[in-house]
Structure 1
Amino acid sequence: MSASADEPARQAIRKPKYTRITQQELPACKPSLTPFAVISIFTIIGAAFIPIGYACLKASQQVVEASVRYDDVCLPGGSHEEQEQSLLQTNGSGSACVVTVTVPRRMSAPVFMYYELDNFYQNHRRYMTSRSDAQLRGSSVSAASLHKSCDPQATLNGSANAVIEPCGLVAWSYFNDTFQVSLNGAAVALDDSNIAWKTDINKRFPSANASHFNTVPELRGGNSISGSIKGDEHFMVWMRTAALRNFRKLWGRINTDIPAGTNVTVAIQNRYNTYRFGGKKKVVLSTANWLGGANPFLGFAYFGVGGASLAFALAFLVLTWLTPRQPGDSGQLSWNKNK
């Protein structure tokens, strides 16, 4: 009897407080997608996207770009095995060569120079995680933490007192080819200032000198750093790992116009060993505009979405014309027909 008497009180306690949210009384928009509305939406999308795609394609075509592959011509003499051994990253060894890039159209300053690597998986999970962002920021990091985050390139020869700074596979494989540019035989200075992100320059990398970074050059996978880490912007650019296996990284800028037909001569010291994994190396010269570099995919994507939208609008228009249906006419519903 007492349990029955307490039941209303329990229900009152469990009953939620009345609000418009708990009772689902908030105003809501319930649009009715009539054939006319659907056709209008698809038509507007198509009419907006196709001009945007045209503008993107035109901007991409205005970018002037020229490139040349050099890993296949910058080879020393000897057999393939001897070539690979001579191109190991041993603190400056390698092969010197000269390649020529012919500019197809006038390039207005600044002209950006990139190096391009193909078949290099900077997006590999173990490669990407083999680094210490805390160490790169200049924070004090314990040796145990470095072993966990930078394995297998945390300390030199396993010594806890010889912590590599910066550590990890990304820093260990730092690109170490070098380039010198001449225009029609006249040397041109490459401006490599401010090629890294401002956040990298101002916040991400310390002013401390690199330590134990290239003590055993025969065991390194790339370049060394002399002096302050913050002073090497090429290293900062390299540490921004690429999302795809084929990628470009900015090397510098040519702050002078290059007329059409100019032969740009690039003297290369070929050190970075891409031969062991079947990679390719290129030198790329490119201008930029509001869209960035040459990127026709964005324009084609807008064209594709805009064209598909117009096609859907036309299809709905034809279907509406062939099988008209009045709003509120339930006689055409399948469940009503089957009765």
Structure 2
Amino acid sequence: MAEDEENTVHIPVRRRKAKNRPKDTAWRQQRLPAIRPVLNAQCALPLTLTLGIACSIIGVFMYLSALNTYEVAVDYTNCTDLITKKSEEKGDYVPTAKIVCVFPIELKNNFTNPVKFYYGLDGFYQNSRLYMASRSEMQLHGKLDDTDGCSPLEMMVDPTDNIKKPIAPCGVIADSLFNDTFSLHTTPDASTPSTLVPFTARGIVSDYVRKQKFKNPDYGENETLCDAFKGTVRPPSWQRDVCTLGAPTTADEAERESVGTGFLNIDLIVWMRAAALPKFRKIYRVLDTEVDNYSGGLAAGNYTLRVFYNYPTAAWRGRKFFYITAEAWSGGSNKTLAIAYMVVGVFLLLVSAIFLLMCLRIRFLERKRVEAQMQ
């Protein structure tokens, strides 16, 4: 046995160093000193009480502000043309039918500034993931050939020359652009002529959005915007080319301020902001207060709303609305946000009351314990 042990060769074990092992320092091994606050009722009470009072006060002021706003809504879904008697509900194809509807509106109160005009849709799901993703930010910034992400509306055959060309603007969200137009007229007595209420697009879209996210393609001095869009085709649901989008088509539109053409059109920019809920409203125009007789807003009285009905809704059973609102500092007449603030504030105040009872109970028990020790 001893001889076998002498003849045995001992091979030393080779130990490898661990790779990428961090250094044994306080920073690498997370041993730095740190504050570990222990929350209790006594330290949480000032926080919940302050937040509860602040939320309650904000909610009350927002609710009172919403009560001081005025709003008029007109449901013009499936309206009938007074002259031709055509209507989408009767099966007339929109917009070939050229339906023009007229609605009387009575303002019982003076609508002070700011007065805004909205259009609304009910039952339109802009929040679909595939719908929202079907767009090209690069194309909207002037690169017409970049249609990545616009599936299934990226390319289409141009009927004029049977050549496949990129759609401008491409994507489903641009193809479904809302194109109803509105005009508001005063309805005075027989001795006073009717006048057009001035609309403006100033302030609807910030300059940052228009400059950084939307841009028309470049074109030469002797060319037009339509020349810049040569080599593209309009979306299949559009009735006019994108280069003429925003150009006046009626006498009423020609009298108003320009709303931008092409990719810089205000209506296109507003529509490309997808809504979160199936019932939504989007801003259409703002009352132009620089015009005489409208510097203080819309006076109470009778008005006539003229709707150029171009947007079909029968296929998806939707509804369309037109809103006139006189907004306050907190926005429109929607009280949902104000009620939410008040509910959160009352909840935090109730939590603060519970914390206060807990603090009093702890003090009472400590006092009894001290008195028992002294006896």
Measured in 1, the distance between the counterparts of 2:21 and 2:177 equals: 65
- TM-superposed CA distance for 1:274, in Å, is 1.0
The answer to whether the 8 A contact 2:168-2:242 is kept is no
Q: Is the contact between residue 71 and residue 270 of structure 1 (CA under 8 Å) also seen in structure 2?
A: no
Matched, 1:151 2:152: yes
Matched, 1:125 2:129: yes
Aligned to 2:205: 196
- Greater alpha carbon shift after TM alignment, 67-76 vs 167-176: 67-76
Partner-residue secondary structure (3-state), 2:168: coil
Structure-2 change in CA distance of 1:196 and 1:39 (3 Å): closer
CA distance in 2, matches of 1:251, 1:193: 11
Q: 1:224 to 1:160 in 2, by over 3 A?
A: closer
Provide the rounded CA distance (Å) in 2 between the counterparts of 1:274 and 1:130: 21
**Match 1:17 to one of 23, 40, 46:** 23
Measured after TM superposition, the shift of residue 153 of structure 1 is: 5.5
SS of the aligned residue for 2:48 comes to helix
CA gap 1:291/1:133 in 2 versus in 1, 3 angstroms: same
Partner in structure 2 of residue 108 of structure 1: 112
TM-score normalized by the length of structure 1:
0.79
8 Å Cα contact 1:74/1:270 also seen in 2: no
Q: CA RMSD in A?
A: 3.2
Q: Which residue, 59, 63, 66 being the options, matches 1:57?
A: 63
Q: Distance in 2 between matches of 1:233 and 1:181?
A: 19
Offset of 1:272 from its aligned partner? 0.9
> Normalising by the residue count of structure 2, what TM-score does the alignment of the two structures yield?
0.72
Residues 234 and 15 (structure 1), Cα distance of their counterparts in 2 relative to 1, 3 Å cut: closer
- The alpha carbon displacement at 1:199 in A equals 3.4
2:39, 2:93 → 1: CA distance? 66
List gaps (5 residues or longer) in structure 1. Answer: 330-339
The answer (yes or no) to whether the contact 1:134–1:141 under 8 Å persists in 2 is no
Q: Percent identity?
A: 27
Deviation at 1:20, TM superposition (A): 2.6
CA-to-partner distance for each residue in 1:189-210, whole Å, 9 max, x for gaps? 2113453343342232332445
Aligned CA distance change for structure 1 residues 305 and 246 (closer, same or farther; 3 Å): same
Give the SS at the match of 2:58: helix
Residues 1-339 of structure 1 aligned to structure 2 (within 5 Å): 3=12, 10=17, 16-74=22-80, 77=85, 83-84=90-91, 86-90=92-96, 93-141=97-145, 145-146=147-148, 149-152=150-153, 154-156=155-157, 161-184=164-187, 185-208=194-217, 209=226, 210=229, 211-213=232-234, 220=237, 224-227=241-244, 228-255=261-288, 256=294, 257-259=296-298, 261-321=300-360, 325-326=365-366
| C-alpha separation in 2, matches of 1:77 and 1:269 | 14
Structure 1 CA distance for aligned equivalents of residues 317 and 79 of structure 2 = 15
Counterpart CA distance in 2 for 1:190 and 1:281 is: 20
Secondary structure of 1:248 counterpart: strand
Distance 2:158 2:176 in 1: 17
SS where residue 300 of structure 1 aligns? helix
Select the structure of larger CA radius of gyration: 2
8 A Cα contact 1:123 1:242, kept in partner: yes
- Alpha-carbon offset, residue 230 of structure 1: 3.6
Distance, in Å, in 1 between the alignment partners of 2:283 and 2:42 is 50
Q: Is the 8 A contact 1:67 1:101 kept in 2?
A: no
Q: Which residue of 2 aligns with 1:335?
A: none
